């Protein structure tokens, strides 16, 4: 099989190899019609730039790093998938770097990764996106970085998020609309800033409907299936159990669902269960879990787009590098009328 070169693309598009390089690298000063023609030829010929040659001919590595605390979680899988696909489209490569903030030498590991890989940019996933010490390492090294779902937006950081508070409020409104008044909440961990935003949305919806929150039915989990099992039992193995339980991620919602089955509580006839994320576990369960579709892959892809944008690399983060992506309420079989 003949390898397609940049000269082949240039000849087919009727431009110089330098112009092709500018288009591939997302540089400015290329007319829109020329850029479109080159991109069309690149797709037609299935051209893939040689990453090693590109890095030798410039000061850039064409490597982006995804820094994440738990690379084997369902959330991480969706983020990685979105980032990988967009990196492939943009002729970049992705490396995944686990960061365990509870380890005493985590800073040394991050510094070593930044130095050895010569990263062109970093994507930082929650909850470590809220670590000021980690962000300072990128800042000190001059590595452009985009945060996914941060609690705050530093002036020199890009950010991609969804409206966690609004989404949780929408889910709670939906449950209230089904006639539920006694709704339990399984929160996420304090370390995730999204946990507080989702609880805020839940409480806002309850207050708007004039419904008092049963504080004994608001329990804190850690986003794991195990905590869903344990807290589901705590909520359901009592006389005044809630008629609906809103878990702040799908793994915990699945744990609540399994506990209900173990206790002989029919879902959704006797209990409604709702989650958050639209992860694989919400679709694999039976009944499938009503949830909020969080655009995890789309957020990661948007983070890649921000990082490879030459304007972002040349200046501090502006409005175009601060994005809010839409969510969706996905109604399935785990919820029904009170």
The answer to whether residues 71 and 192 belong to one domain is no
Q: pLDDT tens for residues 284-296?
A: 999 999 999 999 9
Enter the tokens of residue 89.
């489209």
Structural domain contains residue 331: no
The answer to whether residues 290 and 301 belong to one domain is no
Question: Which element (helix H / strand E) includes 52?
Answer: helix 51-56
Q: Please give the model's pTM, rounded to 2 decimal places.
A: 0.81
CB 303 within 8 A of CB 277: no
CATH of the domain at 267: 3.40.50.2300
Mean pLDDT value across residues 171-192 = 96
Domain hosting 37: range is: 6-49
Closest CA to 213 of 223, 225, 205, 222: 205
What is the domain count for the chain?
Answer: 3
The answer to whether residues 289 and 301 belong to one domain is no
The answer to whether residues 127 and 168 belong to one domain is no
Q: pLDDT tens for residues 311-326?
A: 786 665 666 788 999 9
The answer to whether residues 70 and 92 belong to one domain is yes
Average pLDDT of the chain is 90
pLDDT of residue 5: 80
Q: pLDDT tens for residues 9-29?
A: 888 888 888 888 778 776 767
> Which residue is associated with the tokens 């995804």?
66
pLDDT of residue 335: 98
Q: pLDDT tens for residues 218-259?
A: 999 999 999 999 999 999 999 999 999 999 999 999 999 999
CB burial of residue 272 (10 Å; 0-12, 13-18, 19+) = buried
The answer to whether residues 268 and 309 belong to one domain is no
The answer to whether residues 138 and 228 belong to one domain is no
pLDDT of residue 267: 98
């Amino acid at each position: 099989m003949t390898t397609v070169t940049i000269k082949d693309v240039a000849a087919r598009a009727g431009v110089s190899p330098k112009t092709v390089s500018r288009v591939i690298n997302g540089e400015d000063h290329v007319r829109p019609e020329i850029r479109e023609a080159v991109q069309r030829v690149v797709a037609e010929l299935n051209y893939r730039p040689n990453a090693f040659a590109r890095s030798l001919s410039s000061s850039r590595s064409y490597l982006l790093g995804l820094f994440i605390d738990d690379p084997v979680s369902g959330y991480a899988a969706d983020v990685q998938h979105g980032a990988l696909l967009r990196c492939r489209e943009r002729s970049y490569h992705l490396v995944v770097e686990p960061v365990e903030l509870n380890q005493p030498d985590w800073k040394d590991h991050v510094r070593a990764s930044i130095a050895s890989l010569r990263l062109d940019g970093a994507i930082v996933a929650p909850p470590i996106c809220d670590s000021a010490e980690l962000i300072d390492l990128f800042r000190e090294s001059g590595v452009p970085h985009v945060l996914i779902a941060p609690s705050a937006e530093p002036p020199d950081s890009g950010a991609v998020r969804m409206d966690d508070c609004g989404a949780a409020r929408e889910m709670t409104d939906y449950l209230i609309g089904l006639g539920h008044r006694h709704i339990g909440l399984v929160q996420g961990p304090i370390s995730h800033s999204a946990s507080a935003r989702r609880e805020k949305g839940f409480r806002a919806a309850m207050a708007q409907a004039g419904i008092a929150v049963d504080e004994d039915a608001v329990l804190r989990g850690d986003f794991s299936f195990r905590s869903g099992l344990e807290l589901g039992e705590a909520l359901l193995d009592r006389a005044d159990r809630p008629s609906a339980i809103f878990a702040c991620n799908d793994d915990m919602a699945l744990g609540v669902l399994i506990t209900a089955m173990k206790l002989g509580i029919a879902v959704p006839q006797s209990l409604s269960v709702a989650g958050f994320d639209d992860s694989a576990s919400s679709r694999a369960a039976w009944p499938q879990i009503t949830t909020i579709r969080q655009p995890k892959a789309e957020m990661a892809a948007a983070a890649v787009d921000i990082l490879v944008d030459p304007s972002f690399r040349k200046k501090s983060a502006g409005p175009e590098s601060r994005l809010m992506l839409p969510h969706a309420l996905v109604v399935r079989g785990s919820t029904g009328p009170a």
